[in-house]
Structure 1
Amino acid sequence: MVLATVCAVVYGTADFFGGLATRRSRVLAVVVLSQMVGLVLVIALLPFLPGTLTTGTLAWGMASGVAGTAGLVLFYRALATGVMSVVAPLTATASAILPVLFGLATGERPEPVALGGVVLALLAVLLVSRGSSPAATAGRSYGPILISLAAGAGFGGFFILLSQAPEDGGIWPLLGARLASVTLIALLALITRRSLRPGSGALRIIIAAGALDMIANMLFVLAQQRGLLSLVAVLVSLYPASTLLLARYVLGERLNTVQVVGIGFTLAAVALIAAG
């Protein structure tokens, strides 16, 4: 479960950079450019990582890419219009619930201790989703919240579909996922005639977000090949803890007592799931 935990940290850092980028550039520009960075990275690493290319591998990857693209566009939209320390945990909660339900429905039976960690993890992301201040909580609209939940459903679908790819596929499914996502977003930008030019000072942030996101995807593939989807997805869903801490120390967003407790629950959940 170490891979899944590291994956959560990297995802949270990638989302932090993505959120910063959306405040300086259009959402579509951030998504397209970051996805292209991820595509270049996965192509560069394919020769060095084991894996077998099959039609099924690419098909599952492309299907997951469609779901992930929908989730990513909605997520970046929510980050651009809402409070980062609220959007990320809500998205994570929704993205964790779907794989857990899918895993249990398809026969996965985690140990009781690990299931206790799952419950604690879901509680943790709910706690850290509390507004960073009373004023922020009172003033937020339901628009970003609903968008965050829809984004989480897209990410949950991404995890489920990606887990269905053959285990001997290595990271080849991620190539299919990136090809699908880059194509869809580029077409969307073309149809809507949106500029893909990054804002001033945003390009390096976008590159960092795209590279970290792909690294996190690779870690997820490796983790779910070695563990139960219902546990791996929950551990990965704890990524808002790192997003939250970065938002606190880089952007100065304040943490309330409930959020601090939630971060503590996050650490406890990781320990329980690892013990199980």
Structure 2
Amino acid sequence: MISATLGLLGAIVYGGADFLGGLAARRLGAVRVTALSAVAGLALIALALPLVGGAFSADAVRLGILSGVTGAIALSLLYGCLAIGPMSILSPLTAVVSALVPFSVGLIAGERLSVLGWIAIGIALVAVVLVGFVPEKGAARPRVLGLAMAVGAGAMIGLFLVIIDRTPDDSGVVPLLLNRATSAVIMVGAAVVLVVGARVRGARRGAVRPRDRDAQARLPGWAERAVLLAIACGVVDAIANVLLLLALRAGELTVVSVLTALYPAGTVVLAAVLLRERVAPVQVVGLVLAFVAAGMLALA
């Protein structure tokens, strides 16, 4: 029951982080936001380490770094496939694959579920698709590249879950510290490359046009708020990582992976409450099924 509760709570918190990151990305771009959030999350985990503790074993360091690499690849593929679209197909596809990969690994490793657990997993997978489904009028069919990137993003997210599940029990938050440090190095490096590239292209094009100059004059105020949102995203995402770690150490990978895939639920709810975005009836059904599945898994 504790594992299921932590898994569902972690999914909701992950959704909150995605919501904050999405708002920030409207002003700063996905790469810059990911870099800032990685640094903010690293700072939070570093502050928590003396309080929580953890052993710096070879396995903890190795798996932590590896999870950071997979996380950076996952985010790059995720943002890329969503940019290609349509989100209504690629978003739930990513979430389902992210659940199926660790779920399969858990079964191969010998984890077993009761009949009630299997029914709950089925309901949860349906809920993942319904919650992540965003109806788009006139949406085009997905391109092969978009589908491939969505599957790749889901696989990398699932691999991240598997790696974190394999970390030593006595390592505390050490794997998450290495995860954040690795992600920060990769994403900050990518952000620097983008900034330098933009400046080089700007220098080649010559002087800034008056319209562009006016836009740049308005940018600092926007950027300041976006930076705060990106930092908040990193803090919330780090908290979600801790909840995920606790859930995996308290329960089974098969259960936690499926519940974690419900992360779009947090984003949908926050967007509806704070941005007044319309929640489609199919998403409401998905949210209800998600909580039903979580309750069944807790009992199972």
Judge same fold: TM > 0.5, yes or no: yes
Are residues 1:125 and 2:149 paired?
no
- Gaps of at least 5 residues in structure 1 are none
Which of the residues 286, 289, 297 maps onto 1:265? 289
Measured in 2, the distance between the counterparts of 1:145 and 1:23 equals 24
- Matching residue of 2:260: 236
Relative distance call for 1:45 and 1:75 in structure 2 (3 A) is same
Measured in 1, the distance between the counterparts of 2:33 and 2:126 equals 31
User: Sequence identity of aligned pairs in percent?
Assistant: 38
Between stretches 22-31 and 59-68, larger displacement belongs to 22-31
Relative distance call for 1:245 and 1:89 in structure 2 (3 A) is farther
Are residues 1:166 and 2:168 paired?
yes
- Matching residue of 2:208: none
- Matching residue of 2:79: 76
Measured in 1, the distance between the counterparts of 2:167 and 2:181 equals 16
- Matching residue of 1:60: 63
Measured in 2, the distance between the counterparts of 1:148 and 1:226 equals 30
Measured in 2, the distance between the counterparts of 1:12 and 1:81 equals 21
Greater C-alpha radius of gyration: 2
Superposition CA RMSD, Å:
2.4
Asked whether the 8 Å contact 1:132–1:255 carries over to 2, the reply is: no
- Matching residue of 2:190: 188
Between stretches 218-227 and 240-249, larger displacement belongs to 240-249
- Matching residue of 2:231: 207
In the alignment, residue 235 of structure 1 is paired with which amino acid? Answer: L
Asked whether the 8 Å contact 2:103–2:258 carries over to 1, the reply is: yes
Relative distance call for 1:249 and 1:148 in structure 2 (3 A) is farther
Between stretches 30-39 and 122-131, larger displacement belongs to 122-131
Asked whether the 8 Å contact 1:132–1:253 carries over to 2, the reply is: no
Between stretches 41-50 and 244-253, larger displacement belongs to 244-253
Asked whether the 8 Å contact 1:87–1:129 carries over to 2, the reply is: no
Relative distance call for 1:232 and 1:266 in structure 2 (3 A) is same
* Mapping for residues 93-172 of structure 1, pairs under 5 Å: 93-133=96-136, 135=137, 138-139=139-140, 141-142=142-143, 146-172=148-174
Relative distance call for 1:43 and 1:244 in structure 2 (3 A) is same
Asked whether the 8 Å contact 1:19–1:84 carries over to 2, the reply is: no
In the alignment, residue 62 of structure 1 is paired with which amino acid? Answer: I
Relative distance call for 1:129 and 1:147 in structure 2 (3 A) is same
State the shift of 1:80 in Å.
Answer: 5.5
- Matching residue of 1:247: 271
Relative distance call for 1:194 and 1:60 in structure 2 (3 A) is farther
- Matching residue of 1:219: 243
Asked whether the 8 Å contact 1:14–1:209 carries over to 2, the reply is: yes
Asked whether the 8 Å contact 2:98–2:155 carries over to 1, the reply is: yes
In the alignment, residue 124 of structure 1 is paired with which amino acid? Answer: A
- Matching residue of 1:49: 52
Measured in 1, the distance between the counterparts of 2:148 and 2:279 equals 22
Asked whether the 8 Å contact 2:132–2:265 carries over to 1, the reply is: no
Are residues 1:21 and 2:45 paired?
no
In the alignment, residue 125 of structure 2 is paired with which amino acid? Answer: L
Q: Secondary structure at the match of 1:138?
A: coil
In the alignment, residue 138 of structure 1 is paired with which amino acid? Answer: A
TM-score by length of 2: 0.83
Between stretches 111-120 and 243-252, larger displacement belongs to 243-252
Measured in 2, the distance between the counterparts of 1:175 and 1:213 equals 13
- Matching residue of 1:5: 8
Measured in 2, the distance between the counterparts of 1:73 and 1:34 equals 14
In the alignment, residue 257 of structure 1 is paired with which amino acid? Answer: P
Asked whether the 8 Å contact 1:22–1:80 carries over to 2, the reply is: no
TM-score by length of 1: 0.90
Measured in 2, the distance between the counterparts of 1:87 and 1:40 equals 32
Between stretches 3-12 and 198-207, larger displacement belongs to 198-207
